[in-house]
Amino acid sequence: MTAFAPPPTLAGQPRIDATQAAAEATDRPGFRLTVAEPLPLDSGAALSPYAIAYQTYGKLNADRSNAILICHALTGDQYVAEPHPITGKPGWWDILVGPGKVLDTERYFLICANVLGGCMGSSGPSEIDPATGKPWDLTFPVITIADMVRAQKRLVDHLGIEQLFCVIGGSMGGMQVLQWASAYPDRVFAAVPIATAARHSAQNIAFHEVGRQAIMADANWCNGNYIERGVRPARGLAVARMAAHITYLSEPALHRKFGRNLQNRAAISFGFDADFQVENYLRHQGISFVERFDANSYLYITRACDYFDLAAEHGGVLANAFRATKTRFCSISFTSDWLYPTAENRQIVHALNAAAANVSFVEVETDKGHDAFLLDEPEFHATLRGFLAGCAEHRGLSR
Amino acid sequence: MSPDTALLTPRKIALREDLRLVADMIMPGSRVLDLGCGDGELLSFLVHHKDVDGRGMELSQGGVNACVRNGLSVIQGDADNDLRDYPTQAFDYVVLSQTLQATRHPHEVLRHLVRIGRHAIVSFPNFGHWRMRLRLLTEGRMPRTPVLPHHWYDTPNIHLCTILDFVDLCDEEAITVERNVTLDEQGRAYRLDPRGRLANLLAAQGLFMLAGKENSH
Burial of A67-94, coded b for 16+ CB within 10 Å and e otherwise, reads: bbbbbbbbbbbbbbbbebbeeeeebbbb
Contact A28, A121 (CB under 8 A): yes
What's the burial of B27, exposed, middle or buried (CB within 10 Å: 0-12/13-18/19+)? middle
How many C-beta neighbours within 10 Å does residue B25 have?
19
- Residue A386 to residue B71, Cβ atoms within 8 A: yes
- Residue B69 to residue A386, Cβ atoms within 8 A: yes
Q: Is A171 assigned a catalytic role?
A: yes
* Per-residue confidence (pLDDT) for residue A399, from 0 to 100: 62
**CA separation for the pair B182, B164 (Å, rounded):** 12
In the predicted model, is pLDDT for residue B111 greater than 70? Answer: yes
Distance from CA of A143 to the nearest CA of B (A): 33
Q: Which residues of chain A have pLDDT under 70?
A: 1-26, 399
In DSSP terms, B97 is beta-bridged to B123
| Residues of chain B with C-beta less than 8 angstroms from the C-beta of A391 | 71
**CA separation for the pair A390, B40 (Å, rounded):** 14
Say which of B67, B69, B73 has its CB closest to residue A359: B73
Distance from CA of A381 to the nearest CA of B (A): 9
Q: Is A201 assigned a catalytic role?
A: no
The secondary element (H helix, E strand) that includes residue A32 is strand A31-35
Contact B72, B56 (CB under 8 A): yes
- Residue A393 to residue B71, Cβ atoms within 8 A: yes
- Residue B74 to residue A365, Cβ atoms within 8 A: no
Distance from CA of B83 to the nearest CA of A (A): 9
Q: Taking residues B181-198, report their average pLDDT.
A: 86
In the predicted model, is pLDDT for residue B156 greater than 50? Answer: yes
| Residues of chain A with C-beta less than 8 angstroms from the C-beta of B115 | none
What's the burial of B173, exposed, middle or buried (CB within 10 Å: 0-12/13-18/19+)? middle
* Per-residue confidence (pLDDT) for residue A11, from 0 to 100: 38
Distance from CA of A92 to the nearest CA of B (A): 24
Q: Residue B164: which residues within 8 A CB-CB, separation 6 or more?
A: B128, B194, B195, B200
- Residue B65 to residue A383, Cβ atoms within 8 A: yes
Rg of chain B over CA atoms, in angstroms?
17
| Residues of chain B with C-beta less than 8 angstroms from the C-beta of A354 | 85-87
Residue B187 sits at the chain A interface (C-beta within 8 Å): no
For chain A, how long is the longest CA-to-CA vector?
72
- Residue A387 to residue B71, Cβ atoms within 8 A: yes
Domains of chain A and any CATH numbers: 25-200+310-395 (3.40.50.1820), 204-303 (1.10.1740.110)
- Residue B85 to residue A359, Cβ atoms within 8 A: no
**CA separation for the pair B98, B207 (Å, rounded):** 9
**Phi and psi torsions of A71, nearest 5°:** -105, 120
Q: Which of A72, A200, A208, A370 is catalytic?
A: A370
Contact A240, A212 (CB under 8 A): yes
* Confidence label for B11 from pLDDT (cuts 50, 70 and 90): low
Q: Taking residues B171-189, report their average pLDDT.
A: 90
| Residues of chain A with C-beta less than 8 angstroms from the C-beta of B61 | 362-363, 365
- Residue B68 to residue A389, Cβ atoms within 8 A: no
| Residues of chain A with C-beta less than 8 angstroms from the C-beta of B87 | 353-356
| Residues of chain A with C-beta less than 8 angstroms from the C-beta of B71 | 386-387, 389-391, 393
- Residue A362 to residue B64, Cβ atoms within 8 A: yes
Distance from CA of B28 to the nearest CA of A (A): 18
Say which of B55, B70, B77 has its CB closest to residue A358: B55
How many C-beta neighbours within 10 Å does residue A266 have?
5
Within 13 Å, how many C-alpha atoms sit on residue A322's CB side? 28
Contact A367, A338 (CB under 8 A): no
**CA separation for the pair A364, A326 (Å, rounded):** 26
What sign has the CA pseudo-torsion A311, A315, A317, A318?
negative
* 3-state SS class at A370: helix
| Residues of chain B with C-beta less than 8 angstroms from the C-beta of A191 | none
Q: Which fold has domain B5-212?
A: Rossmann fold (3.40.50)
pTM of the model: 0.88
